[in-house]
Amino acid sequence: MRIQEIDFLDLFNLEPHGPDTFVGVAVSYPWATRLYGGQVVAQSLRAATLTVPEDRPVHSLHAYFIRPGTSEEPIRFEVERLRDGKSFSTRQVVARQSTGAILNLSVSFHQPEEEADVAAPGFQMDMPGPDDPMMVDQSWGKLLMRRSAPADSDLSGHWLRLAADVGEDQTMQACALAFMSDAAPSRAARILHPELAGDRSDFGRFQGASLDHAVWFHRPIRVEEWHWFEMRSHGLYGGRGIATGDAFSADGTHVATVAQQVLLRYNLH
């Protein structure tokens, strides 16, 4: 099934298949030969939320990509309840297809507490917005809107928003943010490579893949609105690069932090 042929929320209609086990759809993307990692992370998070009380929203997740997934068969999500404490719940999710495990997710949930709310400094409010002509349109059809800073600018990041209406439920908003977050870090993680051209020729000269991915959820979010993902590279070594970044709403509110490590192999021949 192609992503354009389903409603975005259908990705999260997981079917129970025994205790703490769920099955979800796999869809193909026009730009990829394998499953989009952000989809599997988001669906795994959704499976975990189905085993946690509604008053405990997710506050962090960490995913390891194990094998490339295929869009030709459904995905099975097996949830393990590691702990339910007085204020935190911890889950582990293994996403599987016939080839074996394709992703392992650790996720933690936290019951909100009335404590200090101190936000990190926002971005410069006079920076170019998503509709500024300098921003490069890299949208995924009608699914994900993406406006990227040009490679030769001083900015490093993307304006992102979902075209789908996710609704008011913050659980679904968090799953949608997990889906969206994988569309931001990879360029920043690769950009320092001296042989990277920054165009389609790179696809033939490099082998790349996401290795692991983390998200920290700080504040409620509306993924239907534009958010600026400010990304930065932390270098390359041994075929691996890492990038971290922060997501801000259009008014400068810090809503999430993202980190990703990628594999980047240069094909000399």
Reported as a single tens digit per residue, the pLDDT across 59-93 is: 999 999 999 999 999 999 999 999 999 999 999 99
Around Cβ 30, how many Cβ atoms within 10 Å?
Answer: 10
Pairwise CA distance, residues 41 & 69, whole Å = 12
- Tell me, what DSSP letter sits at residue 188? H
3-class secondary structure, 262:
strand
Residue 12: predicted pLDDT = 96
CB-based contact 74:96 (threshold 8 Å): no
What proportion of the chain, given as a percentage, has pLDDT over 70? 88
The CATH T-level fold of domain 1-112 is: Thiol Ester Dehydrase; Chain A (3.10.129)
**201 pLDDT band (50/70/90 cuts)?**
low
Q: Which residue has the tokens 């809107």?
A: 145
Summarised one tens digit per residue, pLDDT across range 236-253 is: 888 888 889 999 999 889
Summarised one tens digit per residue, pLDDT across range 11-29 is: 999 999 999 999 999 998 8
Domain boundaries, the chain: 1-112, 131-269
CATH architecture of the domain formed by 131-269: Roll (3.10)
Q: Model-level pTM? A: 0.91
Q: What angle do CA 156, 257, 250 make, to 5 degrees?
A: 65
Q: Tell me the mean pLDDT in the region 142-154.
A: 83
Q: Could you check whether 1-112 and 131-269 share the same CATH topology? A: yes
CB-based contact 77:22 (threshold 8 Å): yes
Least confident span in 33-37, 108-112, 189-193 = 189-193
